[in-house]
């Protein structure tokens, strides 16, 4: 539910902490959002989501771990895992608080403000964390949940985010707050590193 740049930032910070430089790790950190090319109805599929009895979205971490985090774990699947963890944090700290409970029309307006703020925040986040664009290449990944043929489009969109990072960075934010967003990014990194420490007692992380 965060932007490409937010997820790229989170993946970069985790990679720096763990010494992971493999390009597939960064691609995995973006991959769940292939749903936007596959069709929005695939969000739950790519994010391992389901609705609980209260109508709220939850993430089936157990399913993901059983399918992709046993034996040798690829950097790609590790990045993918961190993406869905980060989306959960964004959902609880931002989306549920600012958008979810609104009546339908106001909710749609708030979502559009949210997406415009994503664009305005790109340059601010890139500059704050001194992010460097990695050269990413599409890979063939055998996952039931994604269609890897859309990787070139996803990568080009990330490149465009960097290329045009300053285009809207001076515009006022409408619904999000930079300090709050940076705090959520930091919280996501900490949560992902805790998950990694738990996993490393159960699996070996492949290169």
Per-residue pLDDT of the chain (207 residues; tens, 9 = 90+): 789 999 999 999 999 999 999 999 999 999 999 999 998 789 999 999 998 888 778 899 999 999 999 888 999 999 999 999 999 999 999 999 999 889 999 999 999 999 999 999 999 999 999 999 999 999 999 899 999 999 999 999 999 999 999 999 999 999 999 999 999 999 999 999 999 999 887 555 544
Report how far residue 167's alpha carbon sits from residue 115's, in angstroms, rounded to the nearest whole number: 15
Of 129, 149, 112, 186, nearest to 31 (Cα)? Answer: 149
Cα 183 from Cα 136, distance rounded (Å): 27
Checking phi first, is residue 19 left (phi over 0); if not, alpha (psi -120 to 50) or beta?
A: left
Kindly give, in sequence order, each residue whose CB lies less than 8 Å from that of residue 115, ignoring residues fewer than 6 positions away. none
Count of C-beta atoms within a 10 Å radius of residue 181: 24
Residue 55, Cβ neighbours under 10 Å: how many? 6
* H, E, C per residue of 103-170: CHHHHHHHHHHHHHHHHHHHHHHHHHCCCCCCCCCCCCCCCCCCCHHHHHHHHHHHHHHHHCCCCCCC
């Amino acid at each position: 539910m965060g932007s490409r740049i937010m997820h790229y930032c989170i993946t970069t910070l985790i990679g720096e902490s763990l010494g992971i430089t493999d390009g597939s790790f960064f691609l995995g950190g973006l991959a769940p959002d292939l749903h936007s090319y596959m069709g929005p109805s695939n969000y739950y599929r790519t994010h391992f989501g389901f609705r609980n009895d209260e109508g709220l979205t939850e993430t089936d971490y157990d399913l993901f771990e059983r399918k992709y985090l046993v034996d040798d774990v690829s950097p790609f699947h590790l990045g993918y895992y961190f993406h869905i963890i980060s989306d959960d944090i964004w959902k609880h700290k931002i989306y549920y608080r600012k958008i979810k409970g609104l009546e339908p029309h106001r909710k749609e307006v708030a979502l559009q403000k949210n997406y415009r703020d994503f664009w305005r925040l790109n340059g601010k986040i890139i500059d704050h964390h001194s992010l460097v664009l990695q050269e990413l290449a599409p890979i063939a990944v055998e996952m039931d949940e994604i269609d890897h043929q859309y990787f070139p489009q996803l990568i080009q969109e990330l490149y465009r985010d960097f290329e045009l990072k300053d285009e809207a960075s001076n515009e006022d934010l409408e619904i999000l707050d930079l300090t709050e967003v940076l705090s959520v990014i930091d919280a996501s990194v900490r949560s992902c590193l805790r998950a990694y420490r738990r996993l490393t007692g159960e699996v070996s992380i492949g290169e």
